[in-house]
Structure 1
Amino acid sequence: MDSTFWAFIALILFFCLIAYLKVPAMITKGLDGRADKIRTDLEEARRLREEAQQLLAEYQRKRKEAEAEAEGIVTAAKREAEAMKADAERKTAEYVERRTMLAEQKIAQAEAGAVAEVKAAAVDVAVEAAEALIGKKMSGATSGDLLKKSLAEVKARMN
């Protein structure tokens, strides 16, 4: 009996001990537990991935809605700005037109006043000239009264 035989016997006893202690069953049980844990982890990861995709889709939808709303706000603001610009231009044009009409009225009044002054000055000159002419041709107290009366009449008609 040599050492090879005893090594063989020890090997057989080792295998019997392993079988008696159910080591393969424990290994199988451990591997099955680990496989189950991996399977549950994969299912949890799949579930989390689906939730993440749903959240992503929801956030993308919300982002698109927000972009559409922002675009609507910008469009409304542009429309409102254009309306305000048109209103301001209209009001400016009306203001300029009113100021122009007021200036034209003032000019017309000034012209009328100047014409009236020129007429009054012409009447005064004409009256003085007439007074001088009549005064030379007529003499006496009655002629002076007649002259004053005539001048008063002419002035009354001119005004």
Structure 2
Amino acid sequence: MALDATFFALVGLILFFVLLAYLKVPGMVGKSLDERADNIRNELAEAKRLREEAQQLLAEYQRKRKEAEAEAAQIIAAAEREAAMLTEEARQKTEEFVARRNALSEQKIKQAEADAIGAVRAAAVDLAIAAAESVIAKKTDAATRNSLFKDSVGTVQSKLN
């Protein structure tokens, strides 16, 4: 048997495997792989836990968003109702104000009519008195005027007493 390079390569390979077995390299590699698998398993469990927390937070925020939307809708509805009430109240007050102003205007118009009628009557009475005075002055003499004056003064005195 010849000792050639192939033989020495085989011996070196066998020594390498023996050395690996002696140093317990396969156990260290297995232990390292087991540790790596445990780390990956722990990271996956942590990721799963974080995902569940994120889903819970998402569900909670969606619930809060829905509650906020419902509350906003209620606020809007209340504001619309209040605006409608204020509008109706303003309309009623405006109608009452217009009605009062119309009544006051009508009252002022009636008063102005009454004042005008009174003024016309007073003017007519003054005119009638002036005309009567003129007619009486033309048709009566001094004795008749003195007699009428005394009768009028007597009538006034009796009514005043």
Normalised by the length of structure 2, the TM-score is 0.88
- Residue matched to 1:21: 23
How far is 1:145 from its partner?
4.2
How far is 1:138 from its partner?
1.9
Q: Deviations over 1:74-93 (max 9, x none)?
A: 11111101111111111111
Q: Distance in 2 between matches of 1:53 and 1:149?
A: 118
Which portions of structure 1, spanning 4 or more consecutive aligned residues, are displaced by more than 6 angstroms? none
Structure 2 unaligned residues grouped into runs of 5+: 156-161
Which range is displaced more, 51-60 or 130-139?
130-139
Q: Distance in 1 between matches of 2:124 and 2:150?
A: 18
- Indicate the RMSD between aligned Cα atoms, in angstroms: 2.0
Q: Distance in 2 between matches of 1:124 and 1:10?
A: 158
Q: Distance in 1 between matches of 2:94 and 2:30?
A: 93
How far is 1:4 from its partner?
1.4
Q: Distance in 2 between matches of 1:86 and 1:100?
A: 21
Alignment-mate amino acid for residue 48 of structure 1:
L
Aligned length: 153
Distance 1:78 1:31, change over 3 A: same
Structure 1 unaligned residues grouped into runs of 5+: 154-159
Q: Distance in 2 between matches of 1:69 and 1:116?
A: 69
- Residue matched to 2:141: 139
Does 2:40 match 1:75? no
Q: Distance in 2 between matches of 1:83 and 1:145?
A: 79
Q: Deviations over 1:51-86 (max 9, x none)?
A: 000000000000000011011101111110111111
Instruction: Report SS of the residue matched to 1:48.
Output: helix
How do 1:32-51 and structure 2 match up within 5 A?
32-51=34-53
Normalised by the length of structure 1, the TM-score is 0.89
- Residue matched to 1:84: 86
How far is 1:103 from its partner?
1.1
Alignment-mate amino acid for residue 94 of structure 1:
E
- Residue matched to 2:4: 2
Distance 1:56 1:148, change over 3 A: farther
How far is 1:141 from its partner?
2.7
How far is 1:97 from its partner?
1.0
Distance 1:145 1:52, change over 3 A: farther
How far is 1:130 from its partner?
1.5
Q: Distance in 2 between matches of 1:88 and 1:78?
A: 15
Which range is displaced more, 58-67 or 5-14?
5-14
Identity %: 62
Q: Deviations over 1:70-125 (max 9, x none)?
A: 11101111110111111111111111111111111111111111100100111111
